[in-house]
Chains A and B, each alone.
Chain A
Amino acid sequence: MKDRHLLGIRDLSKQDIELCLETAKGFKDVLRRDIKKVPALRGKTVINLFFEPSTRTKTSFEITEKRLSMDVLNFSVPSSSVVKGESLLDTIKTIEAYGVDFIVIRHSSSGVPHFVANNINASVINAGDGINEHPTQALLDAFSILEKKGSLEGLDIAIVGDIFHSRVAKSNIYLLSKFNNRIRLIGPPTLIPEIKNYNIETFSDMDKGIKGVDVIMMLRIQLERQGKGFFPTIQEYFKYWGLDKKRLAIAKDDAIVMHPGPMNRGVEISSDVADCPQSVILDQVTNGLAVRMAIMYLLSGI
């Protein structure tokens, strides 16, 4: 890897992405062993700084770190000095004084991981910043596609839902574009931003949008944003942009269904689709560990 931080996919080279996916294969094997821990990063310390509520990503990182034999510290905002009025820079400088090797950070403001990276002598991993990027999710999605489809190039991929607020969608668009895929963004026009200079088609009619696609990536409808007028009701949303069996049949027969979680069953995805054989949602969770192990392993070498 060129950079010792992983802040986003946009500036990552294709070679670095390929190295990361290749390395993750080796770590996926580790997860199948009886002893799932390797001493690769023994003696290294990591702090997980989550300024936004998160269970899944935080748990995934924590297991990853323990599997690599790191010493793990968690810092979540409600119990931290931030509520006592400490500035972000002071928090970072304090953490630096502890001598940590890695910082995994999630923040509701875009660009915070970049600010932290410029102010600390440790590797910074972006675990989601505002509406900007969520690079580890895009890498694990790419790994899952590669695993199921055998290739990461030349596919038709639909991303459905609230693209505008989704850092997962953005990181995926950046990554999948580097591998010559055809991307279709599907959702209510109010939730699809204009993204220039990428090979993208947009659809508000889902039936047209998912016709013949290889991969369907569903996004969570962020219910906490309901009432802001992006779409009328949940019932209506499901009717127009929800993925049910009838719609899934419009895609290719061997299309896979992905979701970064947590799912809202009956809002963006029906239960029978979430649990059907084409769904790779739980594989994504497992692959998340392998890919995050690979990332931390590779960053430690710089």
Chain B
Amino acid sequence: MKELLNKKDIERIISRIAHEIIEKNRGTENLCLVGIQRGGVHLAKRLAIKIKAIEQVEIAVGSLDIAMYRDDIGMRKDHPIVRKTELPHDISGKKIVLVDDVLFTGRSIRAAMDAIMDFGRPAQIQLAVLIDRGHRELPIRADYVGKNIPTSRKENIEVELIEEGDSDKVILYEE
């Protein structure tokens, strides 16, 4: 078991990604953050707070549950639990930044994009992740990456956030 990121590291990453989002989108107009349940939701909320501190603008934050859109229902050991989806009123024409904790095969992101499309037609979907651990199975890449961590398939990454756990940290462990 190895600690990859601590509280301070995560804080700096959130701060940098917030700046990158503002820079790339030249401000916050039409912007909306959507976190994937559960880790992504907390990260999206933190990004929104950071963006507000920088630009003095409140941007909409939504949460998205992808359990109903997964392509592996019935193939997994534990059935994905259905959690809340709450998107801003109308997402059509919006620039959406999807936020997730770990980018791995890309299948969750595929499911998330399908789910979003059922709510409307956004102008653009961008992707922000805390960790990119490689091993993509679909042609998906992130626009904003906290940290690239090359892993083996035997390894696992666990993101612990203070909202749900004891502290902020990212650890790598072998199964």
Contacts and interface: CB of A to CB of B under 8 A. Distances in A.
Real binding pair: yes
A38 B69 CA distance: 7
Interface residues of A, number: 21
Contacts of A25: 82, 84
Interface stretch (B28-36, B72-80, B136-144): B72-80
B74 A301 contact: yes
A294 B80 CA distance: 12
Given A38-B118, A40-B73, A301 B79 contact: yes
Contacts of A224: none
B119 interface: yes
A300 interface: yes
A40 B69 contact: yes
Nearest to B78: A301
Contacts of A300: 73-74
Interface residues of B, number: 19
Interface stretch (A26-34, A81-89, A140-148): A26-34
B132 interface: no
A26 B74 contact: no
Contact of B73 (A23, A27, A41): A41
Nearest to B115: A38
A35 interface: yes
Contacts of A302: 79
Contact of A26 (B70, B76, B82, B114): B82
B122 to A, nearest CB: 14
Nearest to B119: A33
Mostly, the B contact residues are loop
Contacts of A23: 81-82
A263 interface: no
B73 A26 contact: no
A174 interface: no
A33 B118 contact: yes
A26 B69 contact: no
A297 B82 contact: yes
B83 interface: yes
A41 B73 CA distance: 8
Contacts of B70: 40
Contacts of A34: 119
Interface in A7-54: 22-23, 25-27, 29-30, 33-35, 37-41
A38 B74 contact: no
B68 A39 contact: yes
A298 B79 contact: yes
Given A39-B69, A297-B68, A300-B74, A29 B119 contact: no
B82 A294 contact: yes
Contacts of A22: 81-82
Interface string A279-302: 000000000000000100110111
A121 to B, nearest CB: 14
Contacts of B82: 22-23, 25-27, 294, 297
B73 to A, nearest CB: 6
Contacts of A39: 68-69, 114
B48 to A, nearest CB: 22
18 contacts: A22-B81, A23-B82, A25-B84, A26-B83, A26-B84, A27-B68, A33-B118, A34-B119, A37-B118, A38-B68, A39-B69, A40-B67, A40-B70, A297-B68, A297-B79, A301-B78, A301-B79, A301-B80
